[in-house]
Chain A
Amino acid sequence: MMESLRQALHEETAGVPALGDIDRAIHQVSTSRRRWAAVIGVAASVLVLLVALVGPGWQPLAVEPAGPQPVAPQPGPTATSSVTPDPALPEPATAVQLPMVDPVPVTPRQAGDLTYVADGSIVRRAPDGTATTWVARSALDDACGRPDCTILDLEWSPNGGQLSVVLGTIRRTSPSQLGVYVISDDHSAPPRKLLECLPAMCDTLQGLAISWSPDSAALVVAGERLGEGLVVVEANGPAAEPRNLCDDCPAAAPAWSPDGRWIAYLSGGTVRRISAEGGPSELVAKGPVQSIAWSPDGTRLLIGAADGVHVLDLSRLPFSTTTIENVSPGEGPSAPAWSPDGKRISWFSTPPLDEGFTAEVWTASSDGSDPQRLMRSGCCVSDWSAPAWSPDGDVIALGLGLDPARPPDLILLQSGDGTEFERVAGLGWGPMSWQALP
């Protein structure tokens, strides 16, 4: 059979032409590097000038470059948790002289509506369980200006006053057409476009990642994967020009710190941070890192990496790291998140089975103790969306599909014991976001 399978596979590809365009890839990368070199050149000139003015006693900030490192998969079919004080990954960047961070008071919030996407429209599910279409697909198409736009991300502002939406069309061979829009809580006006995707950010196949400032006044936007650039756009008042923090740096998954001073982001698998006002970026942790989330008090970063979940304490130097290993053997955890009070963390994992993957939702104390598996699905998970804590911390919502022929279900779990108390069948894949109320 093997020889015949080999032959059949080759026959299957007999008419496939050479795909891809190397010259386009070269042009894209060199354009990016030229811009970056120009920025570095200006920065170096300023530094030389400063050294000349201040004198030899002054030392420039030392930032240790870190490249991606190979990750050995964790063997074992079941998830167990342990705490180790000295993780191999991610490695805190000890060479960086990061200032201390001050804790931000964590204010209890009430859960507002859970907002999600169904049939291309935005739906709000009230705390009493009633769901209504809030923004119809036609209104989104009108805002987008094209009939084939899809919603790629949703995120409520911290004050619950506006919903940000990443809306547009992912292009296969030309720059994607994406925009960031906001819709006020009362939906008194059509979706308002804040930002059109910059070419380098959305070159091809890029989504946009967004994060609100803690005062709900602005959003930071970056490419989702290979995007370049980190842009801040004001969310209120008349349209303003976006402010480039680093306009051609490879940046993804930005996260605005709760104290409003910093923006953490991923770059080449490492965690970096940059002042919300701009300036040089600093290496925070080496990778490879897949996702980051600030603790509600702003003193810790939750880091998802292939080898587990890491909690990086930034409140003192040197940083200390708590690692919860083997959370998802061989696959790595996804979507690590903080509970609203910052006492617990959650993550999603897809442990492999012989015939596919199953899905699990875990929580643990932020020090890695008391791990609890809230949910384990049957086989085989075909689609999912990231679990999201309700602002009051009582509920975790996620999308999950086990049948490739059917859209995923929306599942609501009690965060304390994992009891599933509601399931909406056939929700369809899409992002979701909880509205927080004072």
Chain B
Amino acid sequence: MDRNGELREFVSARGAALSRAAFLLTGDLNDAEDLVQETYVVMVRQWRRIDSSHPEPYVRRIMYTRFVDGWRRRHLVELPTATPSDTGDPLDESGLVVDRLTLRDALLCLTPRQRAVLVLRFFEDMTEAQAADALGVGTSTVKSQTRVALQRLRDLAPAAVASFDGSAEGVME
């Protein structure tokens, strides 16, 4: 298979997953599309250097580092778009929908690196070492950022976290 065929095959297989991760990172479909497209351009340029039998870790690293670095390079602020709301009874069926919205708002209140760590660990199901590799940081950074990010989630969206725990006093891991 030629290079373009390999690229298309990879995107066909993994593009949707990358898009979902990009959406969690950016919190916005347009921004997610920008991030994925930028990642594809870099991926095409670098494809010869990528292990085509197992390209995903490299491509994922491109995307996550671009996302985290973008905060500093562009000097653009990532404003939280909403204040976490009081969702009322977490067991209420309609309240669960609000809880999910609140989780997204809370994610947007984290720093890019904290958000990236959570997405890598709990959406991509990566180990600390894999997450560290994807971000180009040490495992200790992943550990500390995970801890802080989870605590911030609890502070920012207690109702949402309570709905995950099944208890407002759930233990933070």
Q: Which A residues lie at the B interface, using CB under 8 A?
A: 1-2, 4-6, 8-13, 16-26, 28-29, 67, 70-71, 73, 75, 172-173, 203-205, 225-226, 290, 330-331, 334, 350, 352, 354-357, 380, 382-386, 401, 404-405, 408, 429
Known: A25-B40, A172-B34, A204-B37. A331 touches B29 (CB 8 A): no
Verify B111–A173 contact, CB threshold 8 A: no
Contacts of B79 in A (CB 8 A): 382, 404-405
Show the binding face of B for A, using Cβ within 8 Å: 4, 7-8, 11, 15-16, 18-24, 29-34, 36-45, 49, 72-73, 75-80, 100, 103-104, 109, 111, 113, 118-119, 122-123, 125, 136-138, 140-141, 144, 148, 150, 152, 160-161, 163-166, 170-173
Q: Closest CB of chain A to B26's CB: distance in Å? A: 10
Say whether A19 contacts B41, CB under 8 Å. no
Instruction: Return chain B residues, CB-CB under 8 Å to A386.
Output: 75
Question: Given the known A-B contacts A22-B11, A204-B34, are A29 and B72 also in contact in the complex, defined by CB atoms under 8 Å?
Answer: no
B126 → chain A, closest Cβ, in Å?
Answer: 12
A residues within 8 A CB of B73? 225, 290
Q: Across the interface, do B103 and A19 meet the contact criterion of CB distance under 8 Å?
A: no
B173, A2: Cβ atoms closer than 8 Å = yes
User: A331, B72: Cβ atoms under 8 Å?
Assistant: yes
Q: Which B residues are in CB contact (< 8 Å) with A11? A: 100
A386 to B109, CA, bound (A): 23
In the complex, the answer to whether B8 meets A22 with C-beta atoms within 8 Å is: yes
Given the known A-B contacts A12-B24, A70-B136, A380-B111, are A20 and B30 also in contact in the complex, defined by CB atoms under 8 Å? no
Could you tell me if B33 and A383 are in contact, using CB atoms closer than 8 angstroms? no
A20 touching B80 by the CB < 8 A rule? Answer: no
In the complex, the answer to whether B19 meets A16 with C-beta atoms within 8 Å is yes
Q: Closest residue to A380 on the B side, CB-wise? A: B111
Specify which chain B residues have a CB less than 8 angstroms from the CB of A20 in the assembled complex: 11, 15, 18-19, 33, 36-37, 39-40
Do B37 and A16 have beta carbons less than 8 Å apart?
no
Residue of B nearest to A28 (CB): B41
CB < 8 Å: which of A1, A73, A331 contacts B172? A1
Q: Is the CB of B37 within 8 A of A429?
A: no
- Within 8 Å CB of B19, what residues of A? 16-20
Instruction: Quote the shortest CB–CB distance from B104 to chain A (angstroms).
Output: 6
The reply to whether B32 and A429 contact each other, CB–CB distance below 8 Å, is no
Question: Please, could you name 26 A-B residue pairs with CB atoms under 8 Å apart, sorted by A?
Answer: A1-B173, A5-B118, A5-B164, A8-B164, A9-B119, A9-B123, A12-B104, A13-B20, A16-B20, A18-B11, A18-B15, A19-B15, A20-B39, A22-B7, A22-B8, A22-B11, A22-B44, A26-B44, A172-B30, A172-B34, A204-B38, A334-B72, A357-B111, A382-B78, A404-B79, A429-B77
Q: Are B138 and A16 in contact (CB under 8 A)?
A: no
Please, which residues of chain A bring their CB within 8 A of the CB of B111? Answer: 356-357, 380
Per CB-CB distance, the 8 closest pairs between chain A and chain B, nearest first, are A4-B164, A20-B36, A383-B77, A13-B20, A25-B40, A19-B19, A22-B11, A19-B33
Question: CB distance B75 to A429 under 8 Å?
Answer: yes
Give the docked Cα–Cα distance between A426 and B36 (Å): 33
Residues of B within 8 A of A290 (CB): 73
**Of A5, A6, A29, A75, most B-chain CB atoms within 10 Å:** A5
User: Are B15 and A73 touching (Cβ within 8 A)?
Assistant: no
Contact B148 A354 (CB under 8 A): yes
